[in-house]
Structure 1
Amino acid sequence: MNINLLKTGTTLLNALSNHSELIMQAYFTGNVNEAEYSPKVIQNLIDLKVLWRPDAEVQLRLRPSLRTLLEESLQDEHNRQIDANIGNLLATLTTQAEHYKESIANQRYHDAKAYLADLTEHVYTLTETLSTNVRLLWSRISNEFGYVGSVDAKIRENELAQGQVTDMLNQLSMFRFDELSQLAGSQRELRHLLVITLQSSFVTSTQELSLVQSKLIELLGRFREFQGRTRLLKGFMLHMEQQPDFQPSNYGALSDIPALFNVANPVIKQAAVDVNNVEHEFELVSLVGHIRTINRHWFSQEKTQSDAVRIEQETEVTLSDDKLKMAVEGYFCDVIESGQNMTALEYYQKNDLEFDPEAWIYQVIGAYHGLPDQDRQYLEIDPIGRPDDIFIGNFLITDIEIGLR
């Protein structure tokens, strides 16, 4: 432990605590009124890198790093800016990972531990930066840029946010997880940091940014609608100020009525089913489920004599179970009797079933989940497949294995 750094850090924190009112005043007003404080206090804070003077003719201000800390701690979304500089962080991660691998190869484990600590800090800083940027965008959207007063200012803030989203998406495109995986190699710590942690944050941020982008476009359309109505209202008010004695004409007395006033009252449109409305899906399914097919035989009016009714002895009608359902039940019974795990396709090939293999697997899955709870607890289902090559998070099931618990 470095004793000098410890003492300097303690002195800095004590100064922040003792002069908290000065610091918060500088945070909200943007500068420090030096006449209200002693020169000794001001010089002490300058020496501790809390205050600084950008120019000789400019008043003292807070250091940007301290302002960023206060914005993060206070969750002050009014002043915070989005940090989309991901390229430098990725380059730093690559360099730190190379230092770590070189130290491990040369058996300098103390240096490797230090490099791994720095790498871990940079990775979590990057993930926190991504989540903070997304949270900041959602905060702006939630209050519809309420920290600005006019509609024009809201439109400018919306366009700025859209540009920041585009920049973040371009920065996220710099992630090359195949290269990061090769860089990590067989090092478990590196794979956890560079592949698992970063990929999880990348997927979450990309999905959130796509939702943010669509919401910003929706808000921009609403703001432009407000802007158009505001301009129309301001134009009418200006017209009334210039011509206070203006009286609208009696358009009903004119022989040629303007098209704007010659509009008939709206009529009720013919009812029609909106199959694209998700909220009506339950009602539509319920209506379709109650439909019954009615077949009527229409006879010609010239046919007056009906056919003779033949009364025969009723024959017993038996309803046989579905063959696919019976085959699945036989599959379950075979697994229980043998006590050995068996996949659905193995049973399918063993018994030369004639069903479609995909329909057979679907029926096995549905039959398993349709079993009563007391019966399902004796069996265990295990899907067999592989992750999708294109879409992350999709798992393609190629077979199902059933066994006893």
Structure 2
Amino acid sequence: MAGFDAGQVSALLRKIGANDELLANAYVYGSIAADSQDNKTISTLHKAGLLRPDDEVGEFRVTTDFKRMLNRLMRKQSSYRQLTDMGKVIEALDETVKDYQLSVQAEQSEDAELFLEQLDDLLYETKDGLNNNLDNMHYGIVSQFGFVSSLANKIRQNERYLNHAQNLLTELQQIDPEACYEWINWPCPNEFARKITGFVYWFNKVLPRLRFIIDNMRLSLFRLRRDEKKANQLRSMTRFLRQHPEFELSDNLYEHPELPEGLKLAPAMALKSYVDTRNTALETPLIQLVQALRKQSIAQDVKERETAEIEVNPIERVSYQSDFFDLQAELLFEQAITSNVAISALVFWQHSQDDWQVNEHSIKPKAWIELVFSCYCKLTNEQQAAFSLNLKGVQVAGTSDNFSYHDVVIGLNEY
């Protein structure tokens, strides 16, 4: 409970309402000067803790507490650097939770109610302070740091915002909110459990929001630096043109006697939004224009739409045709896998001649070996690594690295 009664609060609010214009001027303009008419009023506000003396004699400013309240209500960006030491907050919460748990277990209802109220105030102040901190940072980005005017100050404020937000994110990431569930790892009242789970739920939503704000700050800083670069380029261009007046074109340049005939320009044409009917030179073309507009336009014949028939042929179904020797090459690799024995392509060809002749299929040994080798090359890198390929052949005469292969042996690698 607060240490004041309702009458004291009402009296303070009446003083603020009765002197609203004076306090508003002191807040907006920074300070106010006391004159003979306002001396008594300023003295009363000074005693109430709403005004304080300035460095200059006879001038007064609003107090820090009152100004902080107005800044928060007016959403001025003076409190975005509020640091929230979550480590100390967690320690304070842990101490309050222990006091509450001991009071509940000892059946001390009054003390337990006191500690529960302290816990509720601490949780609210923590959430309210951090939410206000994030709101101020987000408002500053959305308003493009409207509380300062120059681009340099906007960039400086953005950099400070970004540095503060990154430090705050680093600090919050060091906290494990799931550890707070240990505070309710006992037969606690439901009201206490709801407060703790609500705090953990809120904390888990803060980090994504802060990361979103940091991303917007980086994007805003990039745009501000780009605008500053453009502004610097324009200033440099303006400075150069002022230093070189020869680039300024005179409006009467077309009348200069030394200007070549090919570069002379006609004077600017006087444009008007109406027709000067008193000008006799425009009478003839104006009459022709009016008469042309009065003539009825010749209607063009509407062409009939041309039609044509479209023949749609049924979709032809093509049956799948498999290649016989491709299947035989797959069978060769299958036998190498199942038997775990290296198999020669030439030996496989010799043993398969009887079956192939029955099915009326034949292939020469050289073409068969090339087919087996091409099937190996079509495998993936993992499949090729599983097989061992042994090429048997002789070196071609007159070359150093060319070989003529007469057999391929397929086997499995040992891992």
User: Shorter-chain TM-score: what band?
Assistant: 0.5 to 0.7
Q: 1:56 to 1:220 in 2, by over 3 A?
A: closer
Which letter maps to 1:189? E
2:169 aligns to what? Answer: 169
Q: Secondary structure at the match of 2:145?
A: coil
Q: 1:174 to 1:5 in 2, by over 3 A?
A: farther
Q: What per-residue deviation string (whole Å, max 9, x for no partner) do you get for residues 43-99 of structure 1?
A: 32222222234768694322322222223333x234443423233444433333233
Q: Secondary structure at the match of 1:149?
A: coil
- TM score, norm. by length of structure 1: 0.54
Cα RMSD for the two superposed structures = 3.3
Q: Secondary structure at the match of 1:49?
A: coil
Identity %: 19
Q: Secondary structure at the match of 1:35?
A: coil
- How many angstroms apart in 2 are the aligned matches of 1:16 and 1:147? 25
- How many angstroms apart in 2 are the aligned matches of 1:2 and 1:198? 24
2:200 aligns to what? Answer: 199
- How many angstroms apart in 2 are the aligned matches of 1:61 and 1:293? 92
Which letter maps to 1:243? H
Where do residues 201-220 of structure 1 align in structure 2 (5 Å cutoff)? Answer: 201-220=202-221
* Contact kept? 1:26, 1:61, Cα under 8 Å: yes
Which letter maps to 1:161? Y
- TM score, norm. by length of structure 2: 0.53
Q: 1:34 to 1:293 in 2, by over 3 A?
A: farther
Q: Secondary structure at the match of 2:23?
A: helix
* Contact kept? 1:97, 1:183, Cα under 8 Å: yes
**1:104 Cα deviation after fit:** 2.3
**1:174 Cα deviation after fit:** 4.5
Which letter maps to 2:141? I
Which letter maps to 1:208? R
Moved more, 196-205 or 48-57: 48-57
Aligned residues: 252
1:31 aligns to what? Answer: 31
Structure 1 or 2, whichever has the larger Rg, is 2
2:362 aligns to what? Answer: none
1:77 aligns to what? Answer: 76
* Contact kept? 2:80, 2:137, Cα under 8 Å: no
Q: 1:99 to 1:47 in 2, by over 3 A?
A: farther
1:105 aligns to what? Answer: 105
Where do residues 125-136 of structure 1 align in structure 2 (5 Å cutoff)? Answer: 125-136=125-136
- How many angstroms apart in 1 are the aligned matches of 2:319 and 2:247? 71
- Say if 2:148 is the partner of 1:120: no
**1:120 Cα deviation after fit:** 0.8
- How many angstroms apart in 2 are the aligned matches of 1:95 and 1:203? 22
Q: 1:176 to 1:7 in 2, by over 3 A?
A: same
**1:162 Cα deviation after fit:** 0.3
Gaps of 5+ in 2: 250-314, 321-415
Q: 1:136 to 1:2 in 2, by over 3 A?
A: closer
Moved more, 53-62 or 207-216: 53-62
* Contact kept? 2:80, 2:134, Cα under 8 Å: no
* Contact kept? 1:100, 1:116, Cα under 8 Å: yes
- How many angstroms apart in 1 are the aligned matches of 2:120 and 2:95? 13
2:245 aligns to what? Answer: 244
